[in-house]
C-alpha cells in the first residue's frame, strides 16, 4: 500500500515551453501533497505544499507564477513548469500525506531537462 506515482518519469522540452507533471496517490486519499526539487547529491528542497481544493502554499523564493500547482482531487496534484528555461532542469519529486497520518510517501520523481 501507500503508492504514489508520477508521470512522466522523464521529459525533455525546449526553452520557453511549458511542461506538466502529474502526481497521484494510488491507494489512499492524500490530505496534503508536496512538491520538491532535488539537485544532484543534495537534499530535497520543498517547493510548495498543496491541500485539495485550496491554493498551494509556496516556499520562500519559489515563483508561484512559474511553478503552477493544482490539487484537483484527493488523489491528484499537478505541477506545471511554465516558460521553462535550462536552469529549471532538475529532478522533481512529489509526496503525499494520507488523511490523519504523519507519513509522507514519495513518488518516483520526474527528471526534467530543458534544452
Partner 1 sequence: QQQVKQSPQSLIVQKGGISIINCAYENTAFDYFPWYQQFPGKGPALLIAIRPDVSEKKEGRFTISFNKSAKQFSLHIMDSQPGDSATYFCAATFSGYSTLTFGKGTMLLVSP
Contact residues for partner 1, defined by CB under 8 A: 2, 4, 6, 31-32, 34, 41-44, 46, 49, 91, 93, 95, 97, 102-109, 111
How far apart CA 9 and CA 111 sit, in angstroms, is: 6
Residue closer to partner 1, measured from CB, 16 or 27: 27
CB 48, CB 34: distance < 8 Å? yes
User: Smallest distance, Å, CB 3 to partner 1?
Assistant: 11
Looking at the DSSP bridge assignments, the partners of residue 58 are: 48
How far apart CA 81 and CA 41 sit, in angstroms, is: 23
How far apart CA 87 and CA 75 sit, in angstroms, is: 30
Residue closer to partner 1, measured from CB, 88 or 110: 110
β-pair type (110-114, 90-98): antiparallel
User: Smallest distance, Å, CB 6 to partner 1?
Assistant: 8
Residue closer to partner 1, measured from CB, 16 or 108: 108
User: Smallest distance, Å, CB 36 to partner 1?
Assistant: 9
Amino acid at each position: 500500500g501507500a503508492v504514489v506515482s508520477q508521470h512522466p518519469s522523464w521529459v525533455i522540452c525546449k526553452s520557453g515551453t511549458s511542461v506538466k507533471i502529474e502526481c497521484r496517490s494510488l491507494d489512499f486519499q492524500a490530505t496534503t501533497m508536496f512538491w520538491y526539487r532535488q539537485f544532484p547529491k543534495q537534499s530535497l528542497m520543498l517547493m510548495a505544499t498543496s491541500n485539495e481544493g485550496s491554493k498551494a502554499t509556496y516556499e520562500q523564493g519559489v515563483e508561484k507564477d512559474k511553478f503552477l500547482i493544482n490539487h484537483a482531487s484527493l488523489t491528484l496534484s499537478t505541477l506545471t513548469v511554465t516558460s521553462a528555461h535550462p536552469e529549471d532542469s532538475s529532478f522533481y519529486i512529489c509526496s503525499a500525506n494520507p488523511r490523519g497520518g504523519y507519513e509522507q510517501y514519495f513518488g518516483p520523481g520526474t527528471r526534467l531537462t530543458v534544452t
